[in-house]
Amino acid sequence: MPIRFFQMQGLKRLDRGLLRDIAALAAGIFIVGISFGAIASSQGVPWWQSTAMSLFVFAGASQFATMGIMSAGGGLLAGVAAGLVLNLRHVPYGMAVGEVYWTSLRAKLLGTHLLTDQSTAFALAAGGDRLRAKHAYWTVAVSLFVVWNVGTVLGAFAGQLVADPAVLGLDAALPAILLALVIPGLKDRRTLAAGLLGTAVALVTSLFLPAGVPVLLALVGLVVMWKGTGERREAAA
């Protein structure tokens, strides 16, 4: 009985720590959501369109990439293609944590829509504790969905109140936010090499190709990752 009591107390302390971490994460996502809404407004996007994008797409990096390409004149096709490519990473995410929310058709649909890098990371951090993983996943997913959409709406209306958005440097905020989103992944040497190769391809081709196309061609950098995967498989064999 005492052992069980202390186990329960330990779980409570872990839960409080988990909620504290989620609250800090949500605060950061809220600010980024405001930035997205404000930047969208500065680019002439109606508030309802940026809100609908956050509601039905709910993918920060993809939303920023799509909006950036379209605002640069890349066109709808290039913008959507870039967003879809970025979201391909959700396929392995779903395979890794799908069992946490694949409990019913409704849970599958909602859980898949709310799947993000952060909700996946928190669920995986729970290790073999399935109940904790489930709790972490849904808490993070729902919290971020709410703050992201509220932030988008507030940012969209705030952006409309600014007479000259260029004065605030919102044009520079977009690439800065995208850079902040990818910096953590650049700690891996092979990922960094892939990013540098893709950047070089995009910069060179931007001199003679229409906006949006160079970004798609930057995917050539992924060949570095593919080569690394093959080497690791051979080493494991």
For each of the chain's 237 residues, which pLDDT tens digit applies? 444 433 343 344 446 777 888 888 888 888 888 888 888 887 788 889 889 999 998 988 788 878 777 776 766 777 777 777 777 777 877 888 888 888 888 888 999 999 988 888 888 888 777 888 888 888 889 999 999 999 999 988 887 776 555 565 555 555 665 566 567 667 778 878 888 888 888 889 888 876 556 766 777 776 776 655 444 444 444
pLDDT (0 to 100) of residue 186: 72
Residues in the chain: 237
Whether residue 171 is found in the same domain as residue 193: no
Whether residue 181 is found in the same domain as residue 212: no
Q: Please give the structure tokens belonging to residue 206.
A: 């931007």
Whether residue 196 is found in the same domain as residue 182: no
Q: Please give the structure tokens belonging to residue 228.
A: 């690394």
Question: Maximum Cα–Cα distance for the chain, whole Å?
Answer: 73
Whether residue 32 is found in the same domain as residue 72: yes
Using DSSP, state whether 201 is helix, strand or coil.
helix
Whether residue 29 is found in the same domain as residue 114: yes
Whether residue 129 is found in the same domain as residue 212: no
Residue 51: name the closest of 196, 197, 195, 160 by CA: 160
End-to-end CA distance of the chain: 48
pLDDT (0 to 100) of residue 211: 59
Whether residue 182 is found in the same domain as residue 233: no
Whether residue 181 is found in the same domain as residue 195: no
- Total number of domains constituting the chain: 2
Residue 161: name the closest of 49, 37, 62 by CA: 37
Q: Please give the structure tokens belonging to residue 186.
A: 């650049």
pLDDT (0 to 100) of residue 43: 79
The answer to whether 60 and 32 are in contact (CB under 8 A) is: yes
Q: Please give the structure tokens belonging to residue 11.
A: 């779980």
Whether residue 214 is found in the same domain as residue 168: no
Whether residue 115 is found in the same domain as residue 12: yes
Whether residue 53 is found in the same domain as residue 101: yes
pLDDT (0 to 100) of residue 212: 59
Q: What residue numbers bound the domain in which 227 lies? A: 188-237
Whether residue 167 is found in the same domain as residue 221: no
Using DSSP, state whether 219 is helix, strand or coil.
helix
